[in-house]
Amino acid sequence: MTEYSFKQVDVFSSVPCKGNPVAVVVGADTLTTEQMANFASWTNLSETTFLLKPTLPQADYRVRIFTPKTELPFAGHPTLGSCHAWLASGVQPKGSTIIQECGIGLVAIRRDTEKLSFAAPPLLRSGHVEPVVLERVAKGLKIPLSAILASSWADNGPGWLAIMLGSRKEVLALEPDYAALSDMKIGVIGRWDPVQDGVDAQFEVRAFAMGAGVAEDPVTGSLNAALAQWLIGTGRVPVKYIASQGTILKREGRVYIEKIAESIWVGGVTRTQISGIVTL
């Protein structure tokens, strides 16, 4: 048994314990894949990550990302939480931009006084959703097919399928049949009404990740990145906006989206909630 530095980081909220937690094991190079998977299953968080020495010269560190069921090539809130834990360990990046190595390759991360932001990686799959699949999604979400204003595959690693509804109210009203969608990962977005909903955010997002062993994820960086690439790319949303997520789960997630030149940056506040030692 070996002791490792451990942090549990809350991501995407300025309010303590109202974002999405990720468990981070630092200096985990001696752990086997089986040990990592077992620990991720034990934490039972949506993701657990392991910080390792990079294998690529450009990278500052490498990360492996596990859900309770499987390993992911990329995920958003674990990227920011892992970067937060890496910086908290006292190391310094090689340049002004932090470079993370993970299953999909290199991901750029920038930091300012309050937030960390990652550059959205290229989509692995995009475009038209097959009618039979969309009908299944509508049935599983218990909504008429006509309620879906737009849809697209939006896979940047986890396998997201994205749909747009007409309003925040419609998004929050969803009560999915999780069993009917057990092998899928569905992201839903709807616009805030500034009169009824306020101006704290412009869009509401929910992430149903049954295929990863999570019924609903509180705040999801990978999904918000994919949504932004799809919706900014098709002119349906502005190049800068704030997404709210986690409302139904009593969270106060806020994801900051901004397109700068050709890159879409996905950011949020990160904070250490638990710091200590884990024995594995």
Close Cβ partners of 57 (under 8 Å, ≥ 6 residues apart): none
pLDDT for 213 equals 75
The residue among 38, 228, 112, 275 whose CA lies nearest residue 220 is 228
- What is the β-pairing status of strands 240-245 and 203-209? parallel
- What is the β-pairing status of strands 203-209 and 125-127? unpaired
* Residue numbers of the chain with a pLDDT score lower than 70: none
Task: Tell me the pTM.
Answer: 0.94
pLDDT for 214 equals 79
- Residues 12 and 10: their CA atoms lie apart, in Å, by 7
Burial string for 88-114 (b: 16+ CB within 10 Å, else e) reads: beeeebeeeebbbbbeeebbbbbbeee
Contact status, residue 17 vs residue 26, Cβ threshold 8 Å: no
The token duo for 204 is 């509401």
pLDDT for 259 equals 98
Close Cβ partners of 38 (under 8 Å, ≥ 6 residues apart): none
pLDDT for 231 equals 98
DSSP state for residue 225 in the 8-state scheme: H
- Residues 8 and 185: their CA atoms lie apart, in Å, by 24
Q: Is 3 a catalytic residue?
A: no
DSSP state for residue 155 in the 8-state scheme: E
Contact status, residue 269 vs residue 251, Cβ threshold 8 Å: no
Residues 116-133 have pLDDT tens digits of 999 999 999 999 999 999
pLDDT for 158 equals 86
| Residue for token pair 């409302």 | 247
pLDDT for 185 equals 95
Which among 47, 101, 204, 252 is annotated as catalytic?
Answer: 47
